[in-house]
Structure 1
Amino acid sequence: MNGIIHFETFLITGILLNLTPGNDTIFILTKSIAQGKKAGMISALGISSGSIVHTILAALGLSIIMAKSIIVFNITKCIGAAYLMYVGYKMLTDKSKLQTDNISKSGNVNYWKIYRDAMLTNILNPKVALFFIAFLPQFINPSQQNTVFPFLLLGATFIITGTIWCFVLAIFSSAIFSKLKSNKKVSYYINKVCGIALVGLGIKVALSERK
């Protein structure tokens, strides 16, 4: 199949991996809970866009540079961790209450910023790059001369299934907390908890090691 082997196994494994909670899951959940369903879905699209970048880089062989160079890995890791902690800090210091339907309609939420933050946190996570160059080649025929197309096809499949799952997360997590949005005190603390979660996620990324 276009240089791809064991596609069914790849599909099942990819879905299971997407269901496993990770950094991207935490980011989407915090945005969904703090700023609503649309913000969560925009975050999912941002994460998916970052994965597209990783897929293209892996297909072209550029991600190997990160895998081979500890300096490049650490620089990327530190930038990504710092950015996550910055986003979390902004949520911690934000004095506004959680998103409501009326606020959402007024256009006060910067969805472009949410998309950008999600995409950058994914792109700047070196573990994602290492995952793509370690996982996808296992399902490409070793005798295949041009591996770019199989890489892109496998990457697209993984991203599509992952995006669907992220949409489900955004919808359900925002629905669960929607009734709390009218409570100013509760909404204030939820916003802070989400900020702490992102700061903690940044620290986790900073302390991660290449394996």
Structure 2
Amino acid sequence: MPVGSIVAFWGVALLLIVVPGADWAFTLGAGLRDRSVVPAVGGLVLGYVGMTIVVAAGIGAFVAENPAALTTLTVLGGGYLVSHGVRTLASRSAPVTATGDTTAETRARTSWATVVQGAGVSGLNPKGLLIFIALLPQFTSPDRDWPLPVQMGALGLVFTFTCAAFYLALGSVTRTVLSSRPATARTVSRLAGAGMIAVGISLIIERIGGGAVF
């Protein structure tokens, strides 16, 4: 597989990642709410690793071509985003500070819950799945040393690791800049929740209404 194809894909993937969406909203919320953004980003990465496996195995193409399966996935994913956005909006907690009084057991339980939530945000996003299906094949090549599933898997991991680096930086910057500005932090957190609700509703409306999911 030509290195040039991987580099070209990375450039396109980065452009897609920096466009705000559900992953952005989730990362911003976690950056303001949690002691560390690592569990949130780890969850997003876990979801994209699962998506990479699905696409490399050929299941993604089946889902994209099966209206019933795609509609089910879209409704589940959209509903999940809406529910998480509602919880974010309803939260009245201020950003976590270094002196917060929580037990190690509580922090561990919260971290695992955040990982699961992140995996749901990225793994249940049908737009992400269709981007993988539409984008990855354009950067593959007829290479006997690199079977197509291996190429798809490699490109999917490039996307995943780029997500990890970008969202770690985004969450860390958000936490650093807004940790001393609780009023602004609450506003950003609520905007993040509203953003997830908007994305979730738009996914459901577009799919049920018969429109394209892109």
TM over 0.5: yes
CA contact (8 A) 2:25 2:192 kept: no
What percent identity do the matched residue pairs reach?
A: 22
The answer to whether residue 176 in structure 2 is matched with residue 178 in structure 1 is no
Amino acid at match of 2:78: A
Amino acid at match of 2:29: T
Label 1:148 to 1:176 Cα distance change in 2 as closer, same or farther (>3 A). same
Amino acid at match of 2:199: L
Cα RMSD over matched residues? 2.5
Instruction: Find the aligned partners of 2:20 and 2:187 in 1 and give their Cα distance.
Output: 23
Q: Secondary structure at the match of 1:6?
A: helix
Q: Report how far residue 119 of structure 1 moved.
A: 0.5
Q: Report how far residue 23 of structure 1 moved.
A: 2.0
CA contact (8 A) 2:22 2:199 kept: yes
The answer to whether residue 129 in structure 2 is matched with residue 129 in structure 1 is yes
Equivalences, count = 205
Q: Report how far residue 96 of structure 1 moved.
A: 3.4
In the other structure, the counterpart of 1:54 is: 51
Instruction: Find the aligned partners of 1:201 and 1:146 in 2 and give their Cα distance.
Output: 35
TM-score by length of 1: 0.84
Q: Secondary structure at the match of 1:76?
A: helix
Instruction: Find the aligned partners of 1:69 and 1:121 in 2 and give their Cα distance.
Output: 22
Instruction: Find the aligned partners of 2:169 and 2:35 in 1 and give their Cα distance.
Output: 10
In the other structure, the counterpart of 2:148 is: 147
Label 1:128 to 1:192 Cα distance change in 2 as closer, same or farther (>3 A). closer
Q: Report how far residue 37 of structure 1 moved.
A: 5.6
In the other structure, the counterpart of 1:8 is: 7
In the other structure, the counterpart of 2:209 is: none
The answer to whether residue 199 in structure 2 is matched with residue 201 in structure 1 is yes
Instruction: Find the aligned partners of 1:186 and 1:132 in 2 and give their Cα distance.
Output: 35
Instruction: Find the aligned partners of 1:7 and 1:196 in 2 and give their Cα distance.
Output: 35
Amino acid at match of 1:128: G
Q: Report how far residue 53 of structure 1 moved.
A: 0.8
Label 1:22 to 1:104 Cα distance change in 2 as closer, same or farther (>3 A). farther
Amino acid at match of 2:157: A
